[in-house]
Structure 1
Amino acid sequence: MATSPTARRLDHWLPRLVLAPSFLISFLFIYGLIAWNGYLSVSASRLLPNYEFVGLAQYEILFESERWMVALKNLGIFSVLFIGVGMAVGLLLAILLDQKIRAEGVLRTIYLYPMALSFIVTGTAWKWILNPGLGIEHVVQSWGFESFTFGWLVDPDLAIYTVVIAGVWQSAGFVMALFLAGLRGIDESIIKAAQVDGASLPRIYWRILIPSLRPVFFSTLMVLAHIAIKSFDLVMALTAGGPGYATDVPATFMYSMAFTRGQIGLGAASATVMLATIAAIVVPYLYSELRSRK
């Protein structure tokens, strides 16, 4: 039975009409608020929004702020170590599990478990573990090693590294899962051919398998970089940006300026810088993905 032109037009437009309200709402609350934040960053806003245009004055104040420079430095330290150590540990765990050892499923679950936790839980747990009066230092001293100290959490020069430790602990299992999936997707005939040629197992991984994981490396780098740049809850739960502002990152700086210090324009400027940084990472990745599909 042939369908009428009206029914065909209805079938064509009905899905679009159904999706249109959610699309418009999402567009308004995501891109609309991004645009509003961008305008606030070039306004004279302080405690309340003030739409007087001041150009790049807020950005000048931002990059003259010592606290913002500390936040950028901390972000650099955290990003490099979080991404580098996280990828190294995740790859090592993936290679170990790829040997088809016993209880692989149990070990994989144990390694992946931290990823099931929120960064708030992770930060709170590691705050207890690294607390000199409650955690590692207290336990080791109770065993008789009274000279042992581990006060990184309260040391302004070392506190940022405690954030790295907690972040790597949570993300390493996720990275392992990505690399393990990549390793399991490689044709076993390649490995067997290399073994027939006399190549050792470490050489096979170093020369053949790990280079084959280049797309996985790239995807993992994008994901971890995105997590590092917008890191907020982990820092707030673990150090709250302290001691002082020694572990501030751009996300905590933005929150402090906009919501506790009454500097909405300055907070909006820092948020815009963060958005531009994330866009600089994500947009080339999306472009390369779309280009490869074509």
Structure 2
Amino acid sequence: MTPDPGPATAPAAPALDAPRAAARRAAARPAWRDAIGRWLPHLVLWPPLLVSVVHVLGFTGYTTWMSFTASTLMPDYEWVGLRNYTAVLNSRNWQIATDNLLIYGAGFVVLTTALGLLLAVLIDQRVRGENLFRTIYLYPMAVSFVVTGTVWAWLLNPSIGIQRLVRSMGWGGFRFDWLVDREMAIYTIVIAGAWQASGFAMALFLAGIRSVDADLYKAAQVDGAGPWRIYRRVVLPAIWPIFIAVLVILLQYTIKTFDLVRALTGGGPGIATQLPALVVYDLMFQRGLLGRGSAAAVMMLLSLLLVLVPYFGFMRWRRHREARHG
């Protein structure tokens, strides 16, 4: 006898593939949900962006207009041409501020770049505790310039800071009173600024160094190059765009510096450490000369554009060059 095969089993229904199932779920969704999904990113991004652009451009245009008027304590829309610019350029405060800006800018940019590059090279040696060192070097960037200025004002104060500490250890003739010396006070701002910004420069340089092709290192080592020669001949030329970026960022920091000086020296002794931003503040909010203060602010803006416009032109040229050769 032939055994009964039992009831016939029905063939399994073919499962829907993933794309078809997703299409069915999308068709079942209400249309208003799709509309919200399409427009929500635009509603989140564009209104704040437009408000920021209108705010910046609007107030920039208004400040520029005020710089050509006779405004003092209150707005006065009488047209005076370049009179405010001439008055600011001929003032002793502005001349001292521009001289200080050149000294501070040169010292701050050079010292910060050198410290940042040195720290990046040291960390690139794969030292133990690298993450800890990177955190320590980057920590000053988390501190505001007001806090930095206040702390360094304590450290550099001859009566309570470094000078008193060293003298209490037995070196009675030690002198470090730059903070109250008219000729040296500007360099205290350089020191404090470099202390805060060198970690940022270090992060940029370290990222650039770590992005260099490993084959370049190997080729240099095969040729017998030592570490110093590898960095000087291979690594540093390969990261020259990082140098440009660091230079531009530090220069714009320099031009806009206000709170660090305000907290560290207050612009003194006297007006020995005045910078353009302090001159704008003094003209507008302490002496009530809105027209002249606006003119000084516009000149600061022009100096920023002198830094930023060539940089953006350079970046555009670089992109076209890479697209042409890539």
1:18–1:109 CA distance, 2 compared to 1 (3 A): closer
1:124 paired with 2:150, answer yes
For 1:143-158, list aligned pairs within 5 A. 143-158=169-184
Aligned residue in 2 for 1:89:
115
Q: How far did 1:230 drift?
A: 0.1
Aligned residue in 2 for 1:47:
73
Structure 1 unaligned segments of length 5 or more: list them: none
Q: How far did 1:121 drift?
A: 0.5
For 1:56-95, list aligned pairs within 5 A. 56-95=82-121
What is the CA–CA distance in structure 1 between the aligned matches of 2:173 and 2:40, rounded to whole Å? Answer: 73
What is the CA–CA distance in structure 2 between the aligned matches of 1:272 and 1:127, rounded to whole Å? Answer: 30
Q: How far did 1:188 drift?
A: 1.6
Which TM-score applies when normalising by structure 2? 0.85
For 1:81-230, list aligned pairs within 5 A. 81-230=107-256
Percent of aligned positions with the same letter in both sequences? 48
What is the CA–CA distance in structure 2 between the aligned matches of 1:186 and 1:58, rounded to whole Å? Answer: 51
| Secondary structure, aligned partner of 1:186 | coil
Structure 2 counterpart of 1:211, one-letter code: P
1:239-262, Cα deviation, whole Å (9 max, x unpaired): 010111100000011001100011
1:283 paired with 2:309, answer yes
Q: Which moved more, 1:65-74 or 1:183-192?
A: 183-192
What is the CA–CA distance in structure 1 between the aligned matches of 2:81 and 2:142, rounded to whole Å? Answer: 44
1:247 paired with 2:273, answer yes
What is the CA–CA distance in structure 1 between the aligned matches of 2:235 and 2:294, rounded to whole Å? Answer: 45
| Secondary structure, aligned partner of 2:298 | helix
What is the CA–CA distance in structure 1 between the aligned matches of 2:288 and 2:45, rounded to whole Å? Answer: 39
Q: How many residues align?
A: 292
What is the CA–CA distance in structure 1 between the aligned matches of 2:213 and 2:50, rounded to whole Å? Answer: 45
Q: How far did 1:17 drift?
A: 5.9
1:236–1:196 CA distance, 2 compared to 1 (3 A): same
| Secondary structure, aligned partner of 1:222 | helix
1:214-263, Cα deviation, whole Å (9 max, x unpaired): 01000000110110100001000000101111000000110011000111
What is the CA–CA distance in structure 2 between the aligned matches of 1:17 and 1:122, rounded to whole Å? Answer: 39
| Secondary structure, aligned partner of 1:150 | coil
1:267 paired with 2:293, answer yes
| Secondary structure, aligned partner of 1:61 | helix
Structure 2 unaligned segments of length 5 or more: list them: 1-22, 321-326
1:23–1:177 CA distance, 2 compared to 1 (3 A): closer
The structure 2 residue matched to 1:236, chosen from 262, 266, 272, is: 262
1:238–1:213 CA distance, 2 compared to 1 (3 A): same
1:17–1:106 CA distance, 2 compared to 1 (3 A): closer
Structure 2 counterpart of 1:227, one-letter code: Y
1:175-211, Cα deviation, whole Å (9 max, x unpaired): 1111111111111221111111111111111111111
Q: How far did 1:27 drift?
A: 2.5
| Secondary structure, aligned partner of 2:174 | coil
